[in-house]
Amino acid sequence: MISTLIIGTGSIGERHLRAFQATGRCLVSACEPNEALRQKIEAIYACPVYPSLAEAFEANSFDAAILCTPANTHISIARACIAAGLHLLVEKPLSVSTEGVDELIAEAASRRVVVRVAYVHRSIPTIIAAREILQSGRLGSIRHVSVVAGQNFPSFRPSFASTYYAKRATGGGCIQDSLTHLFHAVEWLVAPITKVFCDASNQALETREVEDTVNVTARLQGDIPASFSCNQFQAPNEITITAHGLLGSIKIALHQQRLGVLLAGESCWTWTQIPPEERDAMFIRQAHAFLDATQGKSDTLASLAAGLQTLKVNLAALRSSDERTEITIEPPPLAR
């Protein structure tokens, strides 16, 4: 049994807590400074919940930690966990700047601990199946990618305006909260993003400091054109990723849990329906993969290099929107 500490028990932290308990492979504790939330988590999940990281470390010896605090706190807390010898799963995005990331990578390598970034789309069966098709070569060389997505964010997070989401500095806004998942998914499916031109604005949500609507024109490694369109106020909750190769195309409809393939010369899509599953299932699958990694087994979760690459894309998109200019990104080695 792997002793695991969930750091931060807000919405995503509580989900991770459930997921890691559901694996049956670890003893789960939590760290939460908010007293009311701490009492709630203790009552629901019957696990120890400490008011601070220092008190958690003093009271127990942990093997791994899941970092679920606002993104601007990730690097400092991650480095403290690594210094204590803990394996680490960091919620996305890795941070809100690249400051301290190189030191984090060096320290993780020095302590020989596993660090992964929780881009959970890597644990969605539809994405996994699509990646197998793309890697098989059936579609030929991919030459164009488009992503269209959106959701009614207030329906999912009614209190969003009083959370990290309300400020860019804490990881809020459509780019760092939602679109980052899709940047990363495309980077895993096809290739790293190397250029972005971003048009972002606030069209509807009351959090006026951050964007809720984004259009990005991009290039992937290999000079592949790509586009990303996302907003967080539309009525339907939909995500569609389409990639076109020289021998065929693939369409991933995440909201319908299905994918289609249309080979050159064919007249209609061939659809594969992925069996439906509860939302927690992808997080439980991610938890299993992380626990496997801590035991030296192979995994497909996002490495620190891959998390850093997508962080650079986030920052480039924000800068591009601010400066109204195209930004070039140099992908790190092994970014996928």
Determine the pLDDT at residue 335.
Answer: 55
Residue ranges matching CATH 3.30.360.10 in the chain: 121-277+300-328
Q: What is the pLDDT of residue 267?
A: 96
Distance CA 336, CA 334 (A): 6
Distance CA 172, CA 50 (A): 26
Q: So what's the pLDDT on residue 259?
A: 97
Low-confidence residues in the chain, pLDDT < 70: 332-336
pLDDT at 330: 87
Cα dihedral across residues 135, 149, 214, 95: positive or negative = negative
DSSP β-ladder status, 87-91 and 64-67: parallel
Amino acid at position 182, single letter: L
Instruction: Return d(Cα 177, Cα 93) in angstroms, integer.
Output: 8
Whether residue 234 contacts residue 150, with contact meaning beta carbons closer than 8 Å, is answered with yes
Q: What is the mean pLDDT of the chain?
A: 96
Q: What is the rounded end-to-end Cα distance, in angstroms, of the chain?
A: 30
Contact 155, 220 (CB under 8 A): no
pTM of the model: 0.96
Question: Which pLDDT score, from 0 to 100, does residue 159 have?
Answer: 87
Which CATH entry fits the domain spanning 121-277+300-328: 2.60.40.290, 3.30.420.40, 3.30.360.10, 3.10.20.600?
Answer: 3.30.360.10
CATH 3.40.50.720 domain residues, the chain: 2-120
The CATH fold of domain 2-120: Rossmann fold (3.40.50)
pLDDT in tens, 71-125: 999 999 999 999 999 999 999 999 999 999 999 999 999 999 999 999 999 999 9
Per DSSP, the residues of 177-211 read IIIHHHHHHHHHHT--EEEEEEEEE-SS-S-TTS-
Q: Which pLDDT tens digit goes with each residue over 210-248?
A: 999 999 999 999 999 999 999 999 999 999 999 999 999
